[in-house]
Amino acid sequence: MSSGFFEESSKDAYDLTITLAGAGQVGKTSLITRLEFGAKMNIDPTQTAGVNFSIIKKTFIIQKKTLFSSSTEEKFMLINVSDTVGQERYKSIIRSSYAQTNVLLLIYDVTNKQSLERAIEESREFREINADKPIIVIGNKCDQKPIITTSDAQERIDADSVYFLGEFSALESIWKPKPDTTITAEEGAIQKLFTEIVRIWLVHNKEISEEDDIRMKQPKGAVKLSEDSDQQTTRTSNGCC
C-alpha cells in the first residue's frame, strides 16, 4: 500500500499499514482491541491464529509550524492493522506481510525475557525486507511486576529507525512512555500512544516536521478526556530511545 495520499478517497487522507509482531501471548491483539473499542473494553485473551486484519479509521488534527506562522488541518487516517501470531509455524505468513508494511510494531512482555529476544529477532528479519521503515517497540503488561527494565530494553533494541515507546498495559489501558511518567485510561493513554505511532511515521516520511503538533480527534458525542489529554502526545527522541 502507498505510504502517502491515496487517490480513491480524500486528498486529506493517509493510508497507513501497521504490522504487529512478537512472541505469542504478549498482548498484541489486546493492544489493537483497545484502539478499536476503547479503554473500558473487556479484553479477550484468546490467541491469534495466523494473521488477523482490521481497518481502523481515525482523524488527526495537525498543527504545522513555521518561523512566523502556524496552520491547522485535519487528516483522515485509514489504518490497516495486521495482527500476527507468535508461533513459528506461521513464520512465512508473517514475513509475507512485511513487504506491505509501513510501520512494524513489536510487542514484548515485560515479565518474559524470551519475548524481548523474539522481538529483536523479528526486527532483524523485518530489516532484511525493509531497510529503512520505522520499527516501534513497546513493552506490554506494565501492570505486573517486570523482570525487564526499561533501560535494559532500550540497550538491546538500540538501532537506526527503531523507536522505543516505553511500556503499556493492555489490561488497564495505562501507558508509561518514561519510567517516571504514567498516562491513565482517563487521560487518553491508548489515544496518545497511537498518536505517537502516527507522528513517528509522518515525520519519518517527511509529511510533518518534529516541531509540528498532532492529536487524535475525538468523535462527536465522545466523553471528553481529562485535562491535557487532548494536547499533543508525549514525544520520543529522534531515532531510538
Alpha carbons 190 and 113: distance in angstroms, whole number: 24
Which set of grid coordinates corresponds to residue 54?
Answer: 482490521
**CA distances for 142 relative to 25, 122, 151, 166, 222, angstroms:** 14, 21, 14, 9, 27
Q: Mean pLDDT score of the chain, rounded to an integer?
A: 79
* Segment among 82-86, 119-123, 199-203 with least mean pLDDT: 82-86
Amino acid in position 120: I
Is residue 133 predicted with pLDDT exceeding 60?
yes
Q: Can you spell out the DSSP letters for 55-75?
A: EEEEEEEEEEE-SS-EEEEEE
Which set of grid coordinates corresponds to residue 166?
Answer: 516505553
**CA distances for 222 relative to 35, 76, 192, angstroms:** 14, 18, 16
Residues 58-75, mean pLDDT to the nearest whole number: 87
Residues 112-136, mean pLDDT to the nearest whole number: 91
Amino acid 61: pLDDT: 92
Whether 99 maps to a domain, the answer reads yes
Is residue 117 predicted with pLDDT exceeding 50?
yes
Range of the domain at 121: 13-216
Tell me the percentage of the chain whose pLDDT exceeds 90.
Answer: 34
Name the more confident of 192 and 53.
192
Name the more confident of 47 and 58.
58
Q: Please, which pLDDT band fits residue 186 given cuts at 50, 70 and 90?
A: confident
pTM value is 0.79
CATH (domain of 161)? 3.40.50.300
Is residue 105 predicted with pLDDT exceeding 90?
yes
Whether 235 maps to a domain, the answer reads no
Whether 192 maps to a domain, the answer reads yes
Amino acid 232: pLDDT: 39
Tens digits of residue pLDDT in 190-224: 889 999 999 999 999 999 999 999 998 876 544 44
Q: Please, which pLDDT band fits residue 239 given cuts at 50, 70 and 90?
A: very low
Q: Please, which pLDDT band fits residue 157 given cuts at 50, 70 and 90?
A: confident
**CA distances for 205 relative to 4, 74, 135, angstroms:** 8, 18, 13
* Segment among 74-78, 117-121, 229-233 with least mean pLDDT: 229-233
Name the more confident of 138 and 56.
138
Q: Indicate the number of domains in the chain.
A: 1
Amino acid 165: pLDDT: 94
Amino acid 86: pLDDT: 52
Q: Please, which pLDDT band fits residue 3 given cuts at 50, 70 and 90?
A: very low
Whether 173 maps to a domain, the answer reads yes
Own/partner long-range contacts of 71-78 (Cβ < 8 Å, ≥24 apart): 73/12, 74/12, 74/217, 75/12, 75/13, 75/14, 76/9, 76/10, 76/12, 76/13, 76/14, 77/13, 77/14, 77/16, 77/198, 78/6, 78/9, 78/13, 78/14, 78/15, 78/16
Whether 212 maps to a domain, the answer reads yes
- Range of 22-26, 40-44, 86-90 with top mean pLDDT: 22-26
